[in-house]
Structure 1
């Protein structure tokens, strides 16, 4: 259990990063644009991952952008064939820095071992590392991936259940059908950082807003027995069709974005093991690598032809070289190779 001092420092009560002792730089941001630090807050015994990033600059209104930037000569050298200026952006026009603090130590209902596993996962996910691709056969899934899923603490998706119960992130809510078998909830994703303020901007002003070029929404199914693409069968088609069709309709009605401008896809392996669907503007390149993204319409087609498609097929996945799942894959493969000799 956490100490009294530690319980007073829940992430939502941290007023600043004051007192943070940086233990290690996980990612310097040169490639990803996100600086990730591993550190400890004063009075807390559990480490936290702190992510620093600059949100995209909204450029939908060029005139507003030109008014918000002031220029000064950076290198007025004699004889230069061009002018070299430095621009400063008005902080009222766009936020300068986004900070995320991932602190598993606040999950007091979980065991110390469970909190350590969550922290280890976040460290691995945010540490600069080479990506790897792995062809997951059914045997690899059953012998390496399933044990990995079973070892994930139940509290790891507790935040999902709170969203589905309308206890959290209600300001992001776009649609909710609580029907158990086919229902789903649609929210704007926090990765859509240029979205108009959910609390102060009238919803009517969202339609046609310049930020729709960055559109990123998240659909969460209400069923709790579907963890990933591998679990999908014919019985889930009503839910999948609703997530594809109704999700697009809600986005079209809310933001004015036509279906041909919206990409709907599923990640495998997923970032968290409760079935969910991503909706982005086709112009958004986040998370759409061929080794990760499976278009929802293609998923539906595959299951319509064969209910057991995702139970039988091999799937290529992408992850980091330090991920726990990759370690399990390599260990299983090494044992399999040793057993065959």
Structure 2
């Protein structure tokens, strides 16, 4: 980035930074990527806000990026997923330099992963009960039949990541477990992100929740909050936000538990996240008997234009066509 500051002014202000004397940390936000520091420069008060710079995107830098990392430390691995901490500074091999990268590795990845993480346009769709029953449910069923949930079942059945399970309540109908989300660095409490996986396999998404499940949902909510605040005493119950995704990345019901100060990116935005409290309230207010549920309401959410659900269902419907359910 080219500076437009006159050279004499640039030299003067650049000299301020090495003279900054820290007084205290004021804030840490954007999941730990930005810090606000209070200090002094030549005995006068000063604020220094530091944010990690954007990645260089030229091919030369990107090609050398993996080999430039040092002190790579694995945090966990399950099936095709693994996550790490690493340093970008070559000199960090000596001394106690904290990691400045959180890495997620998917290997071998699928075309679905490639589409998910590619830049793409977004569309808002409204999924009616009939659209869900006729098109979306068969698509969800086809996804589960492809075996994409092996990593989830590995955790639930005790084959992997058991050292990460911080709470478990085992029961075929009511059981669930709690573990860190792979996107959390496991140390910054204001960016805390945990995952609650239910043991029962008849709930694939929020669409499968019914009025009969309300008390179960309340029980799970209380247990998840209780386990989180016990494990992290500096976090109080009213500092936690619980939500589910629709559409979720994988179709086995799970609940996200995050610190309320975790900055809301795309995964917490309207059109992706549904608050657990709102889901419970919706179920309680539905007419009909205990079998009435979220399959009876319309849901609006966003889809990437490269997503399979847009390409095979909603994009086809928009053009006036008929989705090929047999081709899912």
Write the distance in 2 (CA, Å) between the matches of 1:140 and 1:213.
39
Residues 173 and 313 of structure 1, relative CA distance in 2, 3 Å threshold = same
Counterpart selection for 2:190 from 213, 217, 230? 213
Counterpart selection for 2:107 from 94, 103, 106? 103
Write the distance in 2 (CA, Å) between the matches of 1:280 and 1:271.
17
CA contact (8 A) 1:140 1:332 kept: no
Does 2:118 correspond to 1:127? yes
Cα deviation 1:202-254 (Å, max 9, x = unaligned): xxxxxxxxx21111000011110100011001232233112211100111111
CA contact (8 A) 1:265 1:295 kept: yes
Structure 1 unaligned blocks of 5 or more = 1-27, 38-48, 58-67, 71-87, 105-117, 197-210
TM-score normalised over the length of structure 1: 0.63
Give the match's secondary structure for 1:185: strand
Residues 298 and 50 of structure 1, relative CA distance in 2, 3 Å threshold = closer
The 4+ residue runs of structure 1 with deviation greater than 6 A are 28-31, 49-57, 88-91
- CA root-mean-square deviation: 3.5
Write the distance in 2 (CA, Å) between the matches of 1:309 and 1:56.
48
Does 2:231 correspond to 1:247? no
Cα deviation 1:163-204 (Å, max 9, x = unaligned): 0112111121111111111211111111111x14xxxxxxxx
User: How much does 1:310 deviate?
Assistant: 1.0
Number of aligned positions between the proteins: 241
The residue aligned with 1:171 is 163
CA contact (8 A) 2:87 2:100 kept: no
The residue aligned with 2:18 is none
What does residue range 178-193 of structure 1 map to in structure 2 within 5 Å?
178-193=170-185
Counterpart selection for 1:282 from 260, 266, 273? 260
CA contact (8 A) 2:124 2:303 kept: yes
Give the match's secondary structure for 2:148: helix
Counterpart selection for 1:332 from 294, 317, 321? 317
Counterpart selection for 1:139 from 130, 148, 164? 130
Cα deviation 1:91-150 (Å, max 9, x = unaligned): 84332334433234xxxxxxxxxxxxx712101101111222111111221233112212
CA contact (8 A) 1:181 1:239 kept: no
Cα deviation 1:28-63 (Å, max 9, x = unaligned): 9789xxx999xxxxxxxxxxx999998899xxxxxx
What does residue range 141-156 of structure 1 map to in structure 2 within 5 Å?
141-152=132-143, 153-156=145-148
Residues 50 and 263 of structure 1, relative CA distance in 2, 3 Å threshold = closer
Write the distance in 2 (CA, Å) between the matches of 1:172 and 1:288.
24
CA contact (8 A) 2:164 2:180 kept: yes
Counterpart selection for 1:305 from 285, 296, 310? 285
Structure 2 unaligned blocks of 5 or more = 1-53, 64-79, 324-328
Does 2:220 correspond to 1:272? no
TM-score normalised over the length of structure 2: 0.65
Residues 315 and 230 of structure 1, relative CA distance in 2, 3 Å threshold = same
What does residue range 316-327 of structure 1 map to in structure 2 within 5 Å?
316-327=300-311
CA contact (8 A) 1:266 1:278 kept: yes
Write the distance in 2 (CA, Å) between the matches of 1:319 and 1:240.
27
CA contact (8 A) 1:180 1:222 kept: yes
The residue aligned with 1:232 is 209
